[in-house]
Structure 1
Amino acid sequence: MDQISISTQFDDIDIDLVHCVLSKSYWSKGIPKDVMVKGMQHSLCFSALTPEGRQVGFARMITDRATFAYLADVFVVEAYQGKGVSRLILDSIANHSELQGLRRMMLATRDAHDLYKKYGFEKIENPEIFMQSWNPDVYKSNVN
């Protein structure tokens, strides 16, 4: 993966590609592009790029950069899966200067528990203290 680089520059994000992937994903199915972009603008985004600047992976940290961060929207395009791109993205997140010393980082995943365990994530010890306001159909009501 020497040829893949990680950028946190917003201008390096291929908005159309990210929207194509996220709008079909189980976690943000149907997300409107303008909603996705607004979320990205208020997050610390990580883009995996080929030497030609083509985006092959993405993740974003929703964070106050002082105490808390939530890892979201992690993906690697199919042609680059299994080649270490997700580890490269997660290494960049783990070592990013604005994400050091946080009290808590969280994420939700259906199927990548083993990957995230390598970066210190573990099951919530006391999930009964957490609450959520959940509207899984919000994007369906916002369809243009």
Structure 2
Amino acid sequence: MINISTDRNKLQIDVIHRFLTTTYWAKGRTIEAVKASIAHSFCFGVYIEEKQIGFARVATDYVVFAYIMDVFILPEYRGKGYSKQLMKTINEEPKLQSCKVWMLKTSDAHYLYKQFGYTELKNSEKVMERLLK
């Protein structure tokens, strides 16, 4: 049985950092950067007993906008529905219910997110980004 918690004190920073540095989206992120990103986000840890097996964070103003990032379940725990439970918990979080604009980026998990109502941008001409090296 898994437990999903928003208690930052339970987060195992070493587990989060170690995994993120293996991903296409966070390769090279320092442990200091991971700590800062956690400090400035609403975080969700996924646990089996006391062992952290997953994570996600939401950058949000808690009123209008929520941006989901750094979602993962450790490889050895995948295929058991834990990512679906994590996304369900995030989407149903009472503190985020007034947010009307939810976003995320993914290169490989479209199937997961589509199950929760996420779609490709309908009006991509209205969305702009600034990417820095």
Fold match by TM threshold 0.5: yes
TM superposition score normalised by structure 1: 0.89
Give, in angstroms, the shift of residue 90 of structure 1: 0.6
Equivalenced residue count is: 133
Q: Which of 66, 69, 73 is 2:70 aligned to?
A: 73
For 2:89, the aligned partner's letter is S
For 1:35, the aligned partner's letter is A
Q: Deviations over 1:93-135 (max 9, x none)?
A: 0110111021200000011111101111111011111111112
Counterpart for residue 19 of structure 2: 21
More strand by share: 2
TM superposition score normalised by structure 2: 0.96
RMSD of equivalent CA atoms: 0.9
Higher relative contact order (CA 8 A, sep 6+): 1
The answer on 1:112 being equivalent to 2:104 is no
Percent identity between the two aligned chains: 38
Counterpart for residue 6 of structure 2: 8
Give the Cα separation in 1 of the matches to 2:45 and 2:84.
Answer: 13
Q: Deviations over 1:59-79 (max 9, x none)?
A: 011111110010000000011
Alignment of 1:51-62 (within 5 A): 51=49, 53-62=50-59
Give the Cα separation in 1 of the matches to 2:76 and 2:27.
Answer: 21
Counterpart for residue 141 of structure 1: none
Deviant stretches of 4+, over 4 Å: none
Counterpart for residue 85 of structure 2: 88
